[in-house]
C-alpha cells in the first residue's frame, strides 16, 4: 500500500524536462553567438517546434490524460535526443481541457495565438476532439486526435489538417464482434451509455454482426455516468442473451461490469467491452473483469512479439519505476511520435509539406506498422482482442490481459471513404 | 404480461427497486441524522462516504478481512467527523444555517483533493468478500448475494439507530437537545458534547455506507458527488431530519427509479427529481417532515 501511494506522490506531472530546456537553451545561445548577420536565418532554423497538447488533466479521465502527457513527452525527448529537425528541438505544451468542449476550444486557441504552436495533438473525448478540430482546421494547424470517435472521420468534420491516431468505435466494436459472435452465439444484448460514443459502438457491433446473423434480444440505454446499474440488468437477464455488449466507457464500464458480475450474469452470457481499458481494469479489480473480452489498441505484453512495443515499454519503464505504459498512454506517444516523424521527413514545420509527408508515412511506433488513410487520415492499425485474466493467472500486478487475437491493420475494417462522404 | 413485460420481470424489477432503495436509505441516514438533530446541512456527506470507501480499501489491505474492515471503518471516519465538528463546525453554531453549509461544501472539495493526491485519481479495486460473491435465486430470478447482505445491514443499522435514539437515555438527551438546547444546558448537560457525538455518529454512518457501497459502485475520489445528490433527494422527500421518512423515501425513490428504468430508461435519472418536485408541491415539508423546521 505505502509503496503505491509513494510512487503516486513522486510521479510528478511531466512538463518540459530539464534536459530539453537545457538543449534548446544551448541551441539558442549558439544562434546568438553566430553574429548579427546570421541571426535571422539562425533563428528560423533554431526556433523550437512547439506542439500543443490539450488533454483533460483534471476530471474523471485525469489519470489517463496525465499518462498520455507522460508518453507524449517521451516521444518529444526521443526526437530531441536524435538531434531534432536539423538541430531544431521540439517542445510539448500540455494544457488542461477539463473534458469540456468549450474549455478545449479556448485552450487550443490560446496555444495557437499566444504560444504560437506549430501543431496540436490531444483530447480524450469524442466531443472534445471535434471542438479542438474545429479550431485547428479554421487556422490551418495540423491536429492529431488521440481518442476514439467515428464522427471525426466523416467528411463533415474532416479537413486536410485533421489526423486521427486513435482507433475508432467502428473498427473496435467490429473487431470484437467478428471475434466473439461466431464463438459465443447469436443472441446479443446491448447495454448502452446514452451518448454519441455509446451509439457508435452499437452501430459497429451491428454492422459486424450482420455477416454472422446476430439477433438483438435487448437494447437497454442508461444515462451517462450512472452509479447504479441494477435497475437495467433484470431486463437483460430476462432476454437470455448469449452475448452482452457493454457499450460504455470509464467508470460506467467498470460499475456496470461489477454489478453485472454481482448478478451472476457472467455465468449466463459472455460479456464484451469494445474498449477494454488497462487502467480501468486495474482500478476495478480482477474479479469483476475476469473473462471479459474486449478490444484494445495496445497491451504492454505485445512486447513479446513486437520490437517497437518492447522499445516503447522500456523507454516508459525507465521513467516510471518499471511500470509499463497504458493503452491510452500509447496513443499520446504514437500521436506525437508520428507527427514528429512527419516533420523530419518533410524537413519543415509548414503545414502542407508535413501533411504530404504524413500521408506517405509508414510508421511503427509501438504496435507494428501503421499509416494514415489518404481520404480521412484515419490511422490504419491492428486491433487487439484481449481477455481479462483471473487473479490466479496474473504473473504480476500489470499482467491483466491476454491478447487472444489480432485483427491485422487493414482498410477493410474501416467504413469506406464513400460511406464517410469523402470524394473518391 | 403488463405493458409488454412478463410478470416475473416486473416482480424482479420491483425487488431490484426495493434493494436499490435500501442503498438510498443507507446513503441518506447519516445526512438525515445530522440535519435532524443539529440543523447542519452537511454538504461534506458525500466526501465522508468516499472516505469510508477509501478507509475500507486501506484497512482491508492492512487487516485482510472484510468483516473486520466493516467494523473498523465507521470508527475511523467517525473520528474524522469528531475532529471536523470540534474544530470547524462548532465555532459556527448559532450563526445561521448557511455557515456550516458553506464550510462543509468547501471541506468536501478538500477531502476529495487530499484523497486524489494520496491514492491517485483512477480509483482502487474493492471486491465483495468471497462468501457473498455470486447470485442467489430469490424465486423471481437471480439476485446478487452481496446486495441482499446490504439490505440486511441497512435494516440492522436503521433499527439500531432507532433504538438508540428512542429507547436509551442517551437518545433522550440527544432528542431533548435537538428540541431545546437551552433547557438541556440548564439541566446541567454538556450540550456541546452531545452535538459532537451526533456529528461523529452521522459521519460514521456515512463512512459505513461508503465501505458497504464500495463493492457495488467502485472506489474513486469523485464517488461521493452523485451520492450527495441522491441522499439529498431522499432526505427532502422523506422530510428533513426524519429517520422514518428517510427509510420510506429511500425505498420509494428506489422503486420509482427502477420502474422508470424499465419503461423509459432515458428518464431513469430524472425520475427521482420528478418525484421530489411532486412531493414538494403536495407536502412542502416532505412525507414525514415537521412544518417550519427550516424557518
Query: From CA B89, how far away is CA B99, in angstroms rounded?
Result: 9
Residues A317 and A352 both lie in one domain? yes
Does A126 fall in a domain?
yes
**8 Å CB contact of A264 and B142:** yes
In whole angstroms, what is the distance from residue B29 CA to residue B213 CA?
14
**Cβ pair B194, B173 in contact under 8 A:** yes
Q: Are A273 and A407 in a shared domain?
A: yes
Phi, psi values for residue A225, rounded to 5°: 60, 45
The whole-number average pLDDT for the span A226-242 is 91
The pLDDT score that the predictor gives to residue A246 is 96
**Same domain flag for A147 and A224:** no
Give pLDDT, residue A381.
97
- Rounded to the nearest angstrom, the minimum Cα separation between B212 and chain A is 14
How many domains does one find in chain A?
2
pLDDT at residue A13 tops 50: no
Q: Do residues A241 and A187 lie in contact, with contact meaning Cβ atoms separated by under 8 Å?
A: yes
Q: Bridge-partner residues for A349, per DSSP?
A: none
Among the listed residues A268, A275, A235, A286, the one whose alpha carbon sits nearest the alpha carbon of residue A252: A275
Cβ separation B258–A254 shorter than 8 A: no
Nearest to B137 by CA among A255, A228, A264: A264
Q: Any idea what the CATH number is for the domain that residue A400 is in?
A: 3.40.50.2300
- Residue A258: CB partners within 8 Å, gap ≥ 6? A284, A288, B215, B216, B217, B218
What pLDDT, on the 0 to 100 scale, is given for residue B39? 85
Q: What CA–CA distance (Å, rounded) separates A133 from A109?
A: 11
Domain encompassing residue B24: 7-282
- A4 pLDDT higher than 50: no
Q: Read off the pLDDT band of A21 (50, 70, 90).
A: low
Which pLDDT score is estimated for B122?
A: 76
> What is the pLDDT averaged over residues A51-78?
92
User: Which DSSP letter does residue A277 get?
Assistant: -
Q: Can you give the residue range of the structural domain that contains A289? A: 170-296+383-413
**CB distance A283–B12 less than 8 Å?**
no
Q: Is pLDDT of A6 > 60? A: no
Q: Based on the domain organization, do A374 and A389 belong to the same domain?
A: no
Digitized pLDDT (tens) for each residue of chain B, 295 residues in all? 677 788 888 998 999 999 999 989 998 999 988 988 888 889 999 999 999 999 999 999 999 899 999 999 999 999 999 999 999 999 998 888 899 999 999 999 999 999 988 988 778 888 888 888 888 888 877 899 999 999 999 999 999 999 999 899 999 998 888 888 888 889 999 989 999 999 999 999 999 999 999 988 889 898 898 889 999 999 999 988 788 999 999 999 999 999 999 998 888 889 999 999 999 999 988 998 875 444 3
What's the structural domain count of chain B? Answer: 1
Question: Residue A47, SS3?
Answer: coil
Are A366 and A336 part of one and the same domain? yes
The answer to whether residue A408 is domain-embedded is yes
Residue-level pLDDT at A58: 82
- Report the b/e string of A322-342 with b at 16+ CB within 10 A: eebbbbbbbbbbbbbbbbbbb
The answer to whether the CB atoms of B141 and A234 lie below 8 A apart is yes
**Chain-wide mean pLDDT for chain A?**
89
For residue A200, the model assigns a pLDDT of 92
C-alpha span between A328 and A317 (Å, rounded): 16
Instruction: Compute chain A's Rg from CA coordinates.
Output: 22
Q: How near does any CA of chain A get to the CA of B259, in Å? A: 8
Write down the pLDDT at residue A335: 97
CB distance A169 to A162 below 8 Å: no
pLDDT given at position A12? 43
**3-state percent helix, strand, coil for chain B, nearest multiple of 5:** 75, 5, 20
Same domain, yes or no: A159 and A187: no
Strands (E), B19-150: 135-137, 142-144
> CA gyration radius for chain B?
19
Does one domain contain both A208 and A336?
A: no
ipTM surpassing 0.90: no
Cell of A54: 490539450
Please report how many Cα atoms fall inside a 13 Å half-sphere around the Cα of residue B176, on the Cβ side: 17
Q: Do A394 and A279 sit in the same domain of this protein?
A: yes
User: Is residue A111 scored above 90 in pLDDT?
Assistant: yes
pLDDT at A39 over 70: no
Q: Are B112 and B222 in contact (CB under 8 A)?
A: yes
Find where cell 465483495 sits. B128
Of the partner residues B126, B142, B222, the one whose CB lies closest to the CB of residue A60 = B222
What is residue B243's predicted lDDT score, i.e. its pLDDT? Answer: 87
CB < 8 Å to B145, chain A = 262
- Please tell me the distance from the alpha carbon of residue B197 to that of residue B36, in angstroms, as a whole number: 14
Is A7 domain-assigned? yes
* Contact state of B16 with A231 under an 8 Å Cβ cutoff: yes
Interface of B with A in 184-243 (CB under 8 A): 215-220, 222, 226-227, 230
Of B9, B128, B147, the CB nearest to A238: B9
Cα dihedral value A138, A143, A145, A150, nearest 10? 40
Q: What is the pLDDT of residues A312-358, one digit of tens each?
A: 999 999 999 999 999 999 999 999 999 999 999 999 999 999 999 99
Which pLDDT score, from 0 to 100, does residue A35 have?
Answer: 46
Determine the residue among B120, B147, B258 to mutate to test chain A binding: the one whose Cβ has the most chain A Cβ atoms within 10 Å: B120
Residue A424 lies in a domain: no
Query: What average pLDDT does this structure show over A232-252?
Result: 92
- A313 in Cβ contact with A329 (< 8 Å): no
Residue B53, CA distances (Å) to A8, A228, B170, B211, B218 in order = 19, 16, 29, 4, 9
Within a domain: A326: yes
- Do A271 and A322 fall within a single domain? no
CB–CB of A150/A199 below 8 Å? no
Position A199 pLDDT exceeds 70:
yes
pLDDT of residue A1: 40
Within this chain, do residues A179 and A163 fall inside the same structural domain, yes or no?
no
Contact A107, A131 (CB under 8 A): no
Q: For chain B, how many helices (H) and strands (E)? A: 11, 2
Amino acid at each position: 500500500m505505502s509503496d503505491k501511494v509513494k510512487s503516486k506522490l513522486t510521479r510528478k506531472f511531466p512538463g518540459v524536462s530539464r534536459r530539453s530546456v537545457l538543449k534548446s537553451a544551448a541551441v539558442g545561445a549558439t544562434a546568438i553567438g553566430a553574429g548579427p548577420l546570421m541571426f535571422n536565418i539562425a533563428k528560423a532554423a533554431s526556433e523550437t517546434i512547439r506542439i500543443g497538447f490539450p488533454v483533460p488533466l483534471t476530471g474523471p479521465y485525469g489519470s489517463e490524460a496525465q499518462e498520455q502527457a507522460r508518453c507524449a513527452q517521451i516521444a518529444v525527448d526521443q526526437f530531441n535526443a536524435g538531434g531534432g529537425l536539423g538541430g531544431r528541438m521540439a517542445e510539448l505544451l500540455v494544457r488542461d481541457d477539463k473534458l469540456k468542449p468549450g474549455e478545449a476550444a479556448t485552450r487550443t486557441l490560446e496555444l495557437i495565438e499566444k504560444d504560437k504552436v506549430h501543431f496540436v495533438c490531444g483530447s480524450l473525448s469524442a466531443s472534445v476532439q471535434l471542438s479542438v478540430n474545429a479550431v485547428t482546421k479554421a487556422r490551418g494547424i495540423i491536429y492529431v486526435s488521440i481518442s476514439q470517435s467515428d464522427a471525426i472521420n466523416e467528411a463533415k468534420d474532416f479537413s486536410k489538417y485533421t489526423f486521427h491516431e486513435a482507433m475508432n468505435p467502428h473498427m473496435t466494436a467490429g473487431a470484437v464482434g467478428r471475434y466473439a459472435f461466431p464463438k459465443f452465439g447469436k443472441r446479443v444484448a446491448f447495454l448502452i451509455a446514452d451518448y454519441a460514443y455509446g451509439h457508435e459502438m452499437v452501430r459497429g457491433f451491428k454492422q459486424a454482426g450482420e455477416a454472422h446473423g446476430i439477433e438483438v434480444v435487448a437494447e437497454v440505454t442508461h444515462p451517462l455516468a450512472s452509479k447504479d446499474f441494477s435497475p437495467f440488468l433484470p431486463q437483460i437477464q430476462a432476454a437470455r442473451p448469449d452475448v452482452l455488449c457493454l457499450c460504455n466507457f470509464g467508470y460506467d464500464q467498470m460499475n456496470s461490469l461489477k454489478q453485472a458480475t454481482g448478478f451472476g450474469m457472467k455465468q449466463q452470457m459472455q460479456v464484451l467491452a469494445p474498449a477494454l481499458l488497462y487502467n480501468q481494469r486495474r482500478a476495478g479489480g480482477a474479479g469483476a473483469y475476469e473473462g471479459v473480452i474486449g478490444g484494445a489498441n495496445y497491451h504492454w505484453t505485445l512486447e513479446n512479439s513486437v520490437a517497437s512495443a518492447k522499445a516503447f515499454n522500456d523507454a516508459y519503464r525507465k521513467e516510471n519505476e518499471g511500470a509499463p505504459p497504458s493503452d491510452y498512454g500509447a496513443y499520446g506517444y504514437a500521436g506525437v511520435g508520428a507527427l514528429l516523424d512527419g516533420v523530419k521527413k518533410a524537413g519543415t514545420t509548414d503545414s502542407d509539406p508535413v501533411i504530404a509527408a504524413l500521408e506517405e508515412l509508414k510508421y511503427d511506433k509501438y504496435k507494428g506498422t501503421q499509416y494514415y488513410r489518404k481520404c480521412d487520415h484515419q490511422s490504419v492499425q491492428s486491433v487487439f482482442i484481449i481477455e481479462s485474466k483471473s487473479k490466479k493467472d496474473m504473473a504480476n500486478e500489470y499482467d491483466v490481459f491476454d491478447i487472444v487475437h489480432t485483427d491485422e491493420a487493414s482498410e477493410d475494417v474501416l467504413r469506406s471513404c464513400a460511406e464517410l462522404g469523402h470524394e473518391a | 404480461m403488463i405493458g409488454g413485460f412478463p410478470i416475473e420481470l416486473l416482480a424482479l424489477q420491483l425487488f431490484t427497486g426495493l434493494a436499490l432503495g435500501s442503498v438510498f436509505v443507507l446513503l441518506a441516514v447519516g445526512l438525515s441524522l445530522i440535519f435532524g438533530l443539529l440543523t447542519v446541512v452537511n454538504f461534506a456527506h458525500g466526501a465522508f462516504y468516499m472516505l469510508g470507501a477509501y478507509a475500507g480499501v486501506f484497512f482491508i489491505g492492512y487487516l485482510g478481512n472484510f468483516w473486520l474492515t466493516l467494523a473498523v471503518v465507521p470508527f475511523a471516519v467517525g473520528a474524522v467527523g469528531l475532529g471536523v465538528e470540534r474544530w470547524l463546525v462548532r465555532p459556527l453554531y448559532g450563526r445561521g444555517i448557511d455557515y456550516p453549509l458553506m464550510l462543509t461544501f468547501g471541506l468536501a472539495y478538500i477531502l476529495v483533493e487530499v484523497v486524489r493526491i494520496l491514492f491517485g485519481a483512477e480509483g482502487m479495486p474493492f471486491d465483495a468478500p468471497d462468501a457473498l460473491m455470486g447470485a442467489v435465486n430469490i424465486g423471481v430470478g437471480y439476485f446478487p448475494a452481496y446486495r441482499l447482505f446490504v439490505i440486511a445491514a441497512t435494516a440492522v443499522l436503521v433499527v439500531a439507530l432507532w433504538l438508540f435514539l428512542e429507547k436509551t437515555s442517551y437518545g433522550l438527551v440527544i432528542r431533548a437537545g435537538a428540541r431545546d438546547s437551552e433547557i438541556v444546558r440548564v439541566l446541567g448537560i454538556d450540550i456541546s458534547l452531545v452535538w459532537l457525538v451526533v456529528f461523529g455518529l452521522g459521519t460514521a454512518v456515512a463512512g459505513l455506507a461508503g465501505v458497504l457501497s464500495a463493492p457495488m459502485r467502485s472506489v474513486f475520489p469523485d464517488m461521493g458527488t452523485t451520492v450527495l445528490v441522491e441522499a439529498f433527494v431522499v432526505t427532502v422527500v422523506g422530510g428533513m431530519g426524519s429517520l422514518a421518512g428517510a427509510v420510506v423515501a429511500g425505498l420509494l425513490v428506489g422503486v420509482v427509479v427502477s420502474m422508470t428504468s424499465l419503461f423509459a430508461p432515458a428518464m431513469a435519472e430524472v425520475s427521482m427529481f420528478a418525484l421530489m418536485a411532486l412531493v414538494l408541491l403536495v407536502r412542502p415539508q416532505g412525507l414525514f417532515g415537521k412544518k417550519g423546521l427550516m424557518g
